[in-house]
């Protein structure tokens, strides 16, 4: 498939996804996509890491921050200025066809999505860190809905999202591997610890599930608030 065909397919898929909307979904997706919405979940995650790993937590937090910075800067600082692909909200050919929420258009360029990159960097890095299947499922579902919210709001094509996902997964995996290679003590516990501790990189299943439940509770609160806005 040639490039112009891919672009055309991407636009048609975007219009199909963006065209399914409603007043309640507008409110929910608007709240869901806001960075500040997820600050409580991030703070709980940081608290769990610091409580469990003590002094070694500084290395984990540093690697996680670097993974997010990598994802954000590669997507926004490197690829977007090179690709210079207009967001759907700024594309003249789609004028009048895009469903926007609260007049939000975003910046001019959208390839690749930094929201998708950052979300998947966090989801993969922390999933590798905690090694809990239920946590992994919930965090990747959280990241996918975050990505969909950008299409719903009219500021990203599906292709922007896929590109951001690749960047985020690369960043999350790269900096976890670097952490494991350069500071293995930050991940593993002593040989006297139980098997489940070692298997979970020093985190008990309860640790990750606290973070998981905070994310789920936040989504429930957002869904409730969206009923009354």
pLDDT at 185: 87
- Is 2 a domain residue? no
- Is 93 a domain residue? no
Indicate the average pLDDT of the chain: 92
Q: Name the nearest CA neighbour of 85 among 109, 117, 59.
A: 109
- What's the pLDDT band for 163 if we cut at 50, 70, 90? very high
State how many domains the chain has. 1
- Is 3 a domain residue? no
- Is 11 a domain residue? no
- Is 4 a domain residue? no
Mean pLDDT of 88-109: 95
Residue 175 lies in domain: 20-86+105-225
Task: Please state the separation of Cα 195 from the chain's center in Å.
Answer: 31
What is the distance between the alpha carbons of residues 116 and 150, in angstroms, rounded to a whole number?
Answer: 9
| 206 vs 137 pLDDT, higher one | 137
**Do the Cβ atoms of 146 and 119 come closer than 8 Å?**
yes
- Is 53 a domain residue? yes
- Is 204 a domain residue? yes
pLDDT at 192: 46
Give CA separation, 223 vs 22, 152, 202, in Å: 14, 16, 34
- Is 95 a domain residue? no
Residue 195 above 70 pLDDT? no
Beta bridge partners of 86: 109
- What's the pLDDT band for 201 if we cut at 50, 70, 90? low
């Amino acid at each position: 498939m040639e490039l112009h065909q891919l672009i055309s397919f991407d636009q048609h898929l975007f219009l199909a996804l963006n065209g399914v909307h409603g007043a309640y979904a507008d409110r929910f997706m608007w709240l869901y996509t806001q960075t500040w919405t997820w600050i409580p979940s991030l703070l709980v995650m940081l608290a769990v890491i610091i409580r469990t790993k003590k002094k070694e937590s500084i290395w984990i937090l540093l690697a996680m921050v670097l993974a997010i910075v990598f994802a954000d800067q590669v997507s926004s600082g490197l690829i977007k200025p090179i690709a210079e692909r207009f967001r759907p909200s700024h594309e003249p050919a789609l004028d009048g066809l895009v469903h926007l929420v609260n007049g939000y258009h975003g910046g001019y360029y959208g390839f690749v999505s930094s929201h998708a990159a950052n979300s998947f960097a966090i989801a993969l890095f922390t999933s590798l860190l905690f090694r809990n299947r239920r946590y992994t499922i919930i965090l990747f579902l959280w990241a996918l809905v975050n990505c969909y919210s950008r299409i719903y709001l009219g500021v990203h094509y599906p292709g922007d999202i896929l590109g951001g996902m690749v960047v985020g997964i690369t960043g999350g995996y790269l900096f976890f591997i670097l952490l494991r290679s350069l500071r293995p003590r930050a991940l593993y516990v002593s040989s006297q610890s139980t098997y489940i501790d070692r298997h979970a990189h020093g985190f008990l299943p309860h640790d990750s599930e606290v973070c998981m439940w905070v994310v789920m509770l936040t989504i429930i609160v957002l869904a409730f608030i969206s009923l009354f806005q």
